[in-house]
Amino acid sequence: MLAVAATAVPDGVGLDVLLAASFRIPVYLNIALPEVVTDFAIGNIVEALKPLNSELNDYLSDSDTAHLADALGPGLQNLHRALRDCFGLWQLGKGPWKSQRLDLRLGVPDIAGRPTAYPVLKILIDGTEKLAGRDRQYTGWHPADILGPGSPLLPTEPARRVALYVNAAGGPATGCLAAYVKDFGDQVTWADFRLFEGVYHAPTISPNPDGGDWRIGIVPPVFDAAQYRAEVQRVSTERAWKAEPWQTALLLDQYLSADPGALCPWNLGWAEPHGEATGMFSVTLWDDHCDRGLVVDLVAGSGTPERRARQMADSLLTIPSHQWPRTRPTQRQTSSLARPLRARSTGKPG
């Protein structure tokens, strides 16, 4: 049969490879971490073995080599995929692993210029936004896209490959950093990071995509499961992007962007709640080349978000720029992330 298989699939693997893969299954079950040997994992492997068994039995019945071609082609690929998805991605080495802390914050993409949409969910690992990259090339999704009761950040069985960060200038179509979000009982990890381009339009897609560039050098973080789940739950429940401070900031952005030339010689970057003072908001402005910026801190009056935003916008637009109170300079390194400021866009209010 080995010779017949080689003739049936001359450019493919041999029947000996198929048999070796099958014989290794008990070995995988014995050496895998107990947390990954689940009924679902075993069921996936059984389902991958069924068509192989059927094709080989059919060949023994009618000697049609097409059955061997199907077994050694799609059948073997499906078996390898099932083994990889169930076991291959999760062997992080012997523990114990040092758990890292997850913190989730709302913010603005760290670019010089005008964001396509904001706020975004910033992911901090031990206090650092490690997924942003050395040149701050990547940023988070809008929080409504990745938080909530079924948040993609929460591990599932089977594990999902989640796009955690997207290209800060071009959005998900131009690049996503994706990893499997996997539950290990007392710990949660993000494993097998890949860079995908033109694949994701949302944090998760079905089925989990194959391929991607694995040469991005991101070390899989390992989190304490209780702290991790509590943080995702906290931010999902608070829904700060729907609360009054962010709604006021987005309305302020909308009012200021209605007249692009009113802030001349400055160009609108964004508006956001002040990070330290309640009732205050910060408006970031840039020059035409995104080399030099100015932050104006505004005090909001009382009333609805619409009224407060309108009052702040009117005060900024009616006072000459050299008389603006509470200003401070800011500067970002100009790079490929700088967005043209003459093509203006508004923040995402929802």
- Say whether 22 sits in a helix, a strand or coil: helix
Q: Cα–Cα distance between 252 and 313 in angstroms, integer?
A: 6
Instruction: Supply the pLDDT for residue 340.
Output: 39
Taking CA atoms, 172 is separated from 116, 141, 192, in Å, by 12, 9, 19
The verdict on residue 97 lying in a domain is no
Overall number of domains in the chain:
3
- Say whether 217 sits in a helix, a strand or coil: coil
The verdict on residue 202 lying in a domain is yes
Last residue within a domain, chosen from 88, 121, 153: 88
Ordered per-residue pLDDT tens for the chain, 350 residues: 545 545 655 555 556 666 777 776 776 676 565 656 777 778 888 888 898 889 888 888 888 888 878 877 788 777 777 776 666 555 555 556 789 999 999 999 887 778 888 999 999 999 999 999 877 789 999 999 999 989 999 999 888 999 999 998 888 999 999 999 988 888 899 988 899 999 999 999 988 888 888 778 788 899 999 999 999 999 999 999 999 999 999 999 999 999 878 898 899 999 999 987 889 999 999 998 888 889 999 999 999 999 999 999 999 999 888 889 889 998 764 443 444 343 333 454 44
Instruction: Supply the pLDDT for residue 170.
Output: 86
Give Cα 305 distance to the centre of its chain. Answer: 30
Q: Which residues contact 251 (CB under 8 A, 6 or more apart)?
A: 305, 306, 309, 310, 349
Taking CA atoms, 55 is separated from 5, 45, 61, 69, in Å, by 12, 16, 10, 9
Which residue shows structure tokens 């670019």? 111
- Whether residue 72 contacts residue 18, with contact meaning beta carbons closer than 8 Å, is answered with yes
Check whether residue 180 and residue 214 sit in a common domain: yes
Last residue within a domain, chosen from 212, 238, 264: 238
Q: Cα–Cα distance between 334 and 109 in angstroms, integer?
A: 14
Structure tokens at 333: 């390194």
Check whether residue 52 and residue 162 sit in a common domain: no
Check whether residue 160 and residue 124 sit in a common domain: yes
Instruction: Supply the pLDDT for residue 191.
Output: 85
Instruction: Supply the pLDDT for residue 8.
Output: 53
Q: Which residues contact 55 (CB under 8 A, 6 or more apart)?
A: 67, 68, 70, 71, 75
Check whether residue 108 and residue 227 sit in a common domain: yes
Q: Is the dihedral of CA 108, 156, 190, 213 positive or negative?
A: negative
User: In terms of residue numbers, what domain contains 118?
Assistant: 102-238
Instruction: Supply the pLDDT for residue 280.
Output: 95
The verdict on residue 348 lying in a domain is no
